[in-house]
């Protein structure tokens, strides 16, 4: 697994000392107009991977999801538990009772405590099924991942925030696993996202966004990124070149421009798509109802077999 990420002995790409600065200047230039249009009284907008995907898919869905209550589900709980246990395995090299250890880790913050309470409220049979499911994912992690050597400089839940436009726009992300230290002459960092669910097309775009954040933070792009799927043990690995970073930047510019317009009071534009049936704003969205063939959003326990329900 680690060899696929790092390929010991292989030549690594050099770092263009002007790349990160050029990307930042490009972002600042492109965002100056949208930021000015939203007015001085508007709070800074925070651009995360989920917001990027949502606002580019449908502005109306993005706006509705900002005010909708958080919907908890066994699938969401599984993902949070597996993330916590992956971090535990990488940092201490030991997992006891997966469900108990995972719930203990989640209880450390408010968002996790809410999920822990949700799991405790599940019927006993459903809770046992979740425990077995989580244990299967953890067994896969144990089989696939070594406990990192200190020389690998492994960081879990690595938080990155990049302020732009005088702090009016904040690019933010949390990387599940980063390996290697930043270098001035050669790219040396690998970034890994951990997913307990099925493959989705936006997973690769999420990693490209994280590669851009890492480049802006340290001045050097990562040389590889990967998505690890705990259900199957698959690891999708991709090298990072300038073309990937430019594509991620253009996606950020497009999304942040829409978010600035909405934050400034612009009306969200409905953009019908295959996920309309799950949108929390469906009851008040005529184009979405027409696309979905109903005015009632589907529940997280009743997914379309062709589309994964977004977390």
Dihedral of the CA atoms 230, 71, 301, 109 (nearest 10)? 40
> Percent of the chain, pLDDT > 90?
75
pLDDT at residue 266 is higher than 50: yes
pLDDT at residue 114 is higher than 90: yes
pLDDT at residue 42 is higher than 60: yes
pLDDT at residue 256 is higher than 80: yes
The pLDDT tens digits of the residues spanning 166-204 come to: 999 999 999 999 998 877 788 889 999 999 998 888 899
pLDDT band at 69 (very low <50, low <70, confident <90, very high): confident
Cβ neighbour number for residue 131 with a 10 Å cutoff: 18
pLDDT at residue 67 is higher than 90: no
Selection from 4, 83, 52, 46 nearest residue 161 by Cα: 46
The pLDDT tens digits of the residues spanning 20-29 come to: 999 999 999 9
Q: Give this prediction's pTM.
A: 0.92
pLDDT band at 242 (very low <50, low <70, confident <90, very high): very high
Cα Rg of the chain, angstroms: 20
pLDDT at residue 270 is higher than 60: yes
Quick one: pLDDT at residue 310? Answer: 37
What residue spans define the domains of the chain?
Answer: 14-68+149-263, 74-144
The mean predicted confidence, pLDDT, of the chain is 91
Cα–Cα distance measured from residue 82 to residue 93, given in angstroms and rounded to the nearest whole number: 15
Quick one: pLDDT at residue 3? Answer: 82
Cα–Cα distance measured from residue 220 to residue 225, given in angstroms and rounded to the nearest whole number: 14
Give the mean pLDDT of 33-59: 94
Cβ neighbour number for residue 121 with a 10 Å cutoff: 10
Max distance between CA atoms of the chain, in angstroms, equals 57
Quick one: pLDDT at residue 251? Answer: 97
User: Rounded to 5 degrees, what angle do the CA atoms 73, 78, 83 make?
Assistant: 130
CATH code of the domain occupying 14-68+149-263: 3.90.320
Structure tokens at 208: 């490209």
pLDDT at residue 139 is higher than 70: yes
pLDDT at residue 306 is higher than 50: no
pLDDT at residue 304 is higher than 60: no
Quick one: pLDDT at residue 301? Answer: 56
Structure tokens at 271: 């953009």
pLDDT at residue 305 is higher than 70: no
């Amino acid at each position: 697994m680690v060899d696929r990420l790092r390929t010991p002995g292989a030549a690594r790409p050099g770092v263009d000392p002007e790349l990160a600065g050029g990307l930042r200047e490009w972002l600042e230039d492109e965002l100056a107009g949208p930021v000015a249009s939203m007015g001085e009284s508007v709070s800074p907008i925070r651009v995360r991977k989920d917001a990027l995907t949502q606002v580019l898919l449908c502005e109306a869905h993005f706006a509705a999801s900002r005010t909708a209550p958080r919907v908890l589900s066994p699938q969401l709980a599984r993902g949070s538990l597996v993330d916590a246990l992956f971090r535990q395995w990488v940092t201490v090299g030991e997992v006891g009772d997966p469900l108990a250890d995972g719930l203990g880790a989640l209880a450390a913050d408010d968002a996790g405590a809410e999920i822990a309470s949700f799991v405790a409220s599940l019927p006993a049979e459903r809770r046992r099924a979740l425990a077995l499911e989580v244990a299967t994912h953890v067994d896969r992690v144990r089989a696939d991942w070594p406990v990192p050597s200190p020389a690998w400089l492994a960081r879990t839940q690595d938080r990155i925030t990049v302020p732009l436009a005088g702090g009016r726009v904040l690019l933010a992300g949390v990387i599940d696993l980063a390996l290697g230290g930043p270098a001035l002459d050669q790219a040396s960092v690998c970034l890994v996202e951990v997913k307990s669910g099925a493959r989705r097309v936006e997973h690769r775009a999420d990693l490209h966004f994280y590669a851009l954040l890492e480049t802006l933070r340290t001045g050097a792009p990562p040389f590889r990124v990967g998505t690890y799927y705990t259900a199957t043990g698959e690891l999708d690995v991709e090298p990072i070149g300038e073309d990937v970073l430019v594509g991620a930047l253009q996606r950020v510019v497009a999304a942040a421009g829409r978010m600035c317009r909405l934050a400034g009071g612009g009306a969200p534009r409905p953009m019908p798509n295959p996920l309309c049936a799950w949108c929390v704003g469906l009851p008040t969205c005529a184009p979405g109802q027409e696309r979905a063939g109903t005015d009632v959003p589907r529940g997280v326990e009743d997914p379309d077999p062709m589309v994964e329900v977004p977390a």
